[in-house]
Amino acid sequence: MKKLVSILLVLVLSLSLLTVASAEAAKKVGVAMPTQSLQRWNQDGSNMKAQLEAAGFEVDLQYANNDVATQVSQIENMLLNGCEVLVVASIDGGALDTVLGLAKEAGVPVIAYDRLLTGTANVDYYTTFDNYGVGQIQGQYIVDRFDLENAEGPFNIEFTAGSPDDNNAGLFFAGAFDTLKPYIDAGKLVVVSGQTEFEVVATPAWKSETAQARMDNILTGFYADGTKLDICLCSNDSTALGVTNSLINFGFTAENMPVITGQDCDVANTKNMIAGLQAMSVFKDTRTLAAQTVVMVTDILNGKTPETNATYANGVMDVPSYNCTPVFADVNNYAELLVESGYYTAEQLAE
């Protein structure tokens, strides 16, 4: 009898351990990233995966090569494979309502990651940086750099914004333009091309070559007569890289390069800052954003309500959100922000 009881106890304990193991294994998180063609999304994906795995979760990380249909298919597979939370950095924030509806039906919470999911009620949370604030930082940099409060000017400026299917792109541009508009209205800043509407200055898919081609046309059409170009307000580093390449091809050098803004502190752009070819780049530490998202995922899977500090209207609902704080890097502080913090090694930024 004692032997039978012992066997039964072993069986019960084994079943309990299997149940626990199954429950732990079921805590799978799907992470849908838009593309590997931009450095920042590779960093976001790797940071997210590493931190989620360190927190004890299984991670299904997928990149969609900037193809919406591929991203939809990947999210469907994540749901079929038992993911209990989805973290989605969308390609087109307004194109995922149907597949996110499947997540809602399955009781799987959805966290929008750094790109707001728009036109849908099938999103639960949003982790991001203050994206309007990113543009404000870029605009304020120009205000301070040219002392626009006191200088008479005029200074000539051209704008290059991001992808029109990315909700953040409009926020970046609005933050910068709203900051600079009083100086445009006062005549201290002049947009020689006249191109100030987001739809006109936007860069589909954030492609460097598209930004470069547009700047080629602006330079040929408005600056070939020697008109001075002082500022190129670029919303991110991939567009800044295209604009910089255009300017170099047009004959600009580090000695007379317009002040160029950016965002993301990509390696190539940080090297350009060091070389005097780009003035600044807004630094959004993806480790911070990933860490905050991991906290949110952990709270959700533990039945807790995640901390939020903002809301964003997505056209259907106000999405509870957490804003991380961006800063800017330039030649004076990049070493402290990027190298001493361990984001890059000195070797990565060497020529």
Residue 40 is predicted with a pLDDT of 83
What percentage of residues in the chain have a pLDDT greater than 70? Answer: 92
What percentage of residues in the chain have a pLDDT greater than 90? Answer: 85
> 195 and 88 share a domain?
no
Q: Residue 189: enclosing H or E segment and its boundaries?
A: strand 189-190
Provide the 3-class DSSP secondary structure of residue 213. helix
Domain count within the chain: 2
In this prediction, residues 253-266 reach a mean pLDDT of: 97
pLDDT of residue 154 exceeding 90: yes
Residue 256 is predicted with a pLDDT of 97
Residue 8 is predicted with a pLDDT of 32
User: Look-up: residue for tokens 């709270």?
Assistant: 299
> 165 and 229 share a domain?
yes
Provide the 3-class DSSP secondary structure of residue 193. coil
> 101 and 137 share a domain?
no
In this predicted model, which residue has the larger pLDDT, 44 or 86?
A: 86
Residue 86's DSSP bridge partners are 30, 110
At residue 6 the predicted structure's pLDDT band, cuts being 50, 70 and 90, is: very low
> 161 and 302 share a domain?
no
CA separation (Å) from 319 to 67, 171, 339?
25, 16, 35
In this prediction, residues 77-87 reach a mean pLDDT of: 96
Question: Out of 21-35, 101-115, 249-263, which region has the weakest mean confidence (pLDDT)?
Answer: 21-35
Q: Give domain status of residue 349, yes or no.
A: no
CA pair distance 292, 272, nearest whole angstrom: 30
> 189 and 245 share a domain?
yes
Provide the 3-class DSSP secondary structure of residue 50. helix
> 166 and 102 share a domain?
no
- The model's pLDDT over 177-188, given as tens digits with 9 standing for 90+, comes to 999 999 999 999
At residue 296 the predicted structure's pLDDT band, cuts being 50, 70 and 90, is: very high
Under 8 Å between Cβ of 135 and 179: yes
> 50 and 170 share a domain?
no
Q: Give domain status of residue 1, yes or no.
A: no
> 145 and 271 share a domain?
yes
Give the mean pLDDT of the chain: 91
- The model's pLDDT over 34-44, given as tens digits with 9 standing for 90+, comes to 999 888 899 88
Instruction: Give the domain range for residue 205.
Output: 131-284+329-339
Which residues have C-beta within 8 Å of that of residue 221, sequence separation ≥ 6? Answer: 193
Q: What is this structure's pTM?
A: 0.79
Residue 351 is predicted with a pLDDT of 66
Sheet containing 318-324: which strands, arranged edge to edge? Answer: 58-63, 28-33, 83-88, 110-113, 125-129, 318-324, 310-313
Provide the 3-class DSSP secondary structure of residue 288. helix
304: CATH: 3.40.50.2300
Residue 316 is predicted with a pLDDT of 97
Q: Give domain status of residue 344, yes or no.
A: no
CA pair distance 313, 298, nearest whole angstrom: 25
